[in-house]
Amino acid sequence: MPAHTTLKALSLAVFLAFGALAHAADPVTEAMQAANGPYRMALYKTNGKSQPEALQALTQAQQAWDKLSTQFGSKPAAPYDRDPAFAASVAEVAKVFTKALAEVNANQLTDAHNTLEHAREVMSDMRQRNNVVVFSDHMNAYHAQMEIIMVDGQTTLAQPKGLLTMTAQTGALSYLAKRLTTQAPASLTQNPEFTALVGAVNQSVSALESAVMNQDLAATKEAMGKLKGPYSKLFAKFG
């Protein structure tokens, strides 16, 4: 994982811990959240094998973002009206959807999925610049740390004291996993499906914690490989 990605994950975590909160109390954030549902499904479907399903999901996501762009792209409501980069960010997300759509049409679902990941970063940056935090940002912070472990994990473990380094990385992931519950709105914490899915995420992290605490290399590698599944299911439904 590049250094700038690690710093980005740390920056987001610090912002979520100490930043001013504005939980979808403005029309732009609410529109962004409305577009986030179709976007999540597009990410989920492009991570699968069905081109028609991916195409349908991505088309709906693009339409949702086009609606936001038409309504607010040139004249956003507060607090985004003070953001000089707002229009450029809206346009950047639109470009992501256009590129991903071309990749899905070419049946390049993995490429489309990776392309769509950038939209999550752009939307997160938009909110962060304007001191707005929603539950999706906590999901993104967890995802960023999970990616550090999953992408760089094997390299980390191969280094001297690699298991000790992984223990520190797992500690950060555990902290962010717990915030998926503590920072969730009541509408989610009172939802049995959310409770079950977020519980599965925490169980996957606990398995990794147990493995690194026991300094068990084989168990650590196995637990690392089981992080993505529970998170993907939670993200697709509630991220």
* In CATH, 135-238 is 1.20.120: yes
| Helix-then-strand count for the chain, H and E | 11, 0
* SS3 assignment, position 87: helix
User: What DSSP line would sit under 172-219, residue for residue?
Assistant: HHHHHHHHHHHTS-HHHHT-HHHHHHHHHHHHHHHHHHHHHHTT-HHH
Q: Where are the domains of the chain?
A: 22-129, 135-238
- Confidence band of 25 (pLDDT split at 50, 70, 90): low
Phi, psi for residue 202 in degrees, rounded to 5: -65, -35
- Confidence band of 177 (pLDDT split at 50, 70, 90): very high
State residue 236's pLDDT score.
85
The answer to whether the CB of 238 falls within 8 A of the CB of 200 is no
The answer to whether the CB of 118 falls within 8 A of the CB of 126 is no
Q: Do the domains at 22-129 and 135-238 have one common CATH topology?
A: yes
Task: Specify the CATH number of the domain 22-129.
Answer: 1.20.120
Full-model pTM = 0.77
Kindly tell me if the per-residue pLDDT of 11 is higher than 70: no
